Amino acid sequence: MNETKLNLVTDFYEFTMANGYFIKNMNNIAYFDVFFRKIPDNGGYAICAGLEQIIDFIQNLHFSEDDIKFLKKQKIFSEKFLNYLKNFKFTGSIWAVPEGTVVFPNEPLITVKAPIIEAQILETMLLLTINHQSLIATKTRRIVNQAKNCPVMEFGARRAHGVDAAVYGARAAIIGGAIRNLLHIICKKF
């Protein structure tokens, strides 16, 4: 399987904002929190998941020559900003609750402290990763709780939106309490 390139998986405005900050020489330290406002199904809590992929994304975030060429073709970014992206490396700090933690509305799941351009570029990826995996982990935990002592398996790959969604969904389901290996459970019963 080919390695997925995630460096340009973002809302385009994240780059236009970062370019604006760069042009205005605004790169002070900024803080932002990732949180949610309410639980749509009145379930009372959520389960945080997705942190491992976020860490991997940040550690490997860089912009290739092809990425720079793509952005240059848009004809809205300054040449100096594009040069800045050629050497991009996240220099900030991140604090987060551990995966599998029960979380509640309006509490920070992740706090980012970084130069504002770096923080801006991370925003979309952090939100999509935490939102998707926490949704699955939360739903799984609720199903596991209702199943009492019966093992719950995850079969999300059958309806997932692509390979990555299937893999990360399965991972989040395990964080939420689904069993890892049916064969292991069957063998224990006999």
CB 160 within 8 A of CB 132: no
Distance CA 190, CA 186 (A): 7
Residue with tokens 């900050």: 21
pTM here is 0.82
What percent of the residues of the chain are helix, what percent strand, and what percent coil, each to the nearest 5? 50, 10, 40
What pLDDT, in 10s, does the model give residues 98-139? 999 999 999 999 999 999 999 999 999 999 999 999 999 999
Which is higher by pLDDT, 165 or 91? 91
Q: Percentage of the chain surpassing pLDDT 90?
A: 62
The pLDDT, as a whole number, for residue 181 is 55
CB 78 within 8 A of CB 22: yes
Both tokens of 102, joined, read 């029960």
Domain spanning 12-189, CATH class: alpha beta
The pLDDT, as a whole number, for residue 3 is 52
Say how many CA atoms lie within 13 Å of 91 toward its Cβ.
10
pLDDT beyond 70 at 43: yes
